[in-house]
Amino acid sequence: LFAQNCDFIMGSPVLDNLPPADLGEIAFAGRSNVGKSSLINALTGRKTLARTSNTPGRTQMLNFFLLGKREELALYLVDLPGYGYAKVSRSLVNQWTRLMKDYLRGRPNLRRVYVLVDSRHGLKEGDRDIMKLMDESAVSYQIILTKVDKLKKGEQEKVREATEQAIKKNVAAHPEVILTSSVKGDGVDELRASIAALAAS
């Protein structure tokens, strides 16, 4: 699947004109600046497909990418705006958070949501909020610990264990946590394989 093209389809600031829900879809959620857009670029091998930035609050809409070929195997990847904090007004962040939550609750073709968490910081309140929302709406999700290039191997294993322990009672959570680095490439092949399996399911 990842040998195929991936193209930007559209960005939408509202829920009423999204692409038709006729393909499986995978979304990337997480706090601002956690590395969602960078991970989409690492997965697709395209440095500038999704716009990234040092400034939290870069991604401001639901951004849809079509991975693969419609006639064969294809999937939408969705880059979501971050929650938590951003270098924009409180009311804009609230607006994005509302958009993201409505999308997560209501999108029928959503196969899985990857919840990205900075491996140096662990789960935060905003992460727990959307995990709860997805547990309640039976949306399957999996935690990805990002930026593991910033941690030593021993520290990586500790945060993996602590995170897996912390999500034990979350009914819609995949029990295993994935560790990634978009800079060094850790976990990228593993994640590609799991996305390809979801596309074929």
Residues within the interface to ligand GTP (CB under 6 A): 30, 32-38, 52-54, 56-59, 81-82, 146-147, 149-150, 181-183
Contact between residue 94 and residue 102 where contact means Cβ atoms under 8 Å apart: no
Angle at 129 between CA 53 and CA 127, to 5 degrees: 40
Q: Which of 33, 37, 41, 180 binds Mg ion (CB under 5 A)?
A: 37
CB of 66 to ligand GTP, least distance (A): 19
Burial class (CB in 10 A: 0-12, 13-18, 19+), 65: buried
The two tokens of residue 50 are: 């999704």
CB of 70 to ligand GTP, least distance (A): 26
Gap between the Cα atoms of 80 and 61, Å rounded: 7
Please identify, using beta-carbon distances, which residue of 44 and 52 lies nearer to ligand GTP. 52
Contact between residue 35 and residue 29 where contact means Cβ atoms under 8 Å apart: no
The two tokens of residue 92 are: 């804009």
Query: What secondary structure letter does DSSP report for 23?
Result: S
CB of 119 to ligand GTP, least distance (A): 9
Q: Which stretch binds Mg ion (CB under 5 A): 18-26, 54-62, 68-76, 173-181?
A: 54-62
Please identify, using beta-carbon distances, which residue of 58 and 111 lies nearer to Mg ion. 58
- Binding mask 75-114 toward Mg ion (x if CB under 5 A, else -) reads ----------------------------------------
CB of 27 to ligand GTP, least distance (A): 12
Say if strands 62-68 and 74-79 run parallel, antiparallel, or are unpaired. Answer: antiparallel
Please identify, using beta-carbon distances, which residue of 37 and 97 lies nearer to Mg ion. 37
Q: State yes or no: residue 31 binds Mg ion (CB under 5 A).
A: no
The two tokens of residue 34 are: 């956690």
Q: State yes or no: residue 59 binds Mg ion (CB under 5 A).
A: yes
Q: Pick from 107, 81, 78, 117: which is nearest to 195 by CA?
A: 78
CB of 165 to Mg ion, least distance (A): 28
Q: Which of 1, 26, 27, 58 binds Mg ion (CB under 5 A)?
A: 58
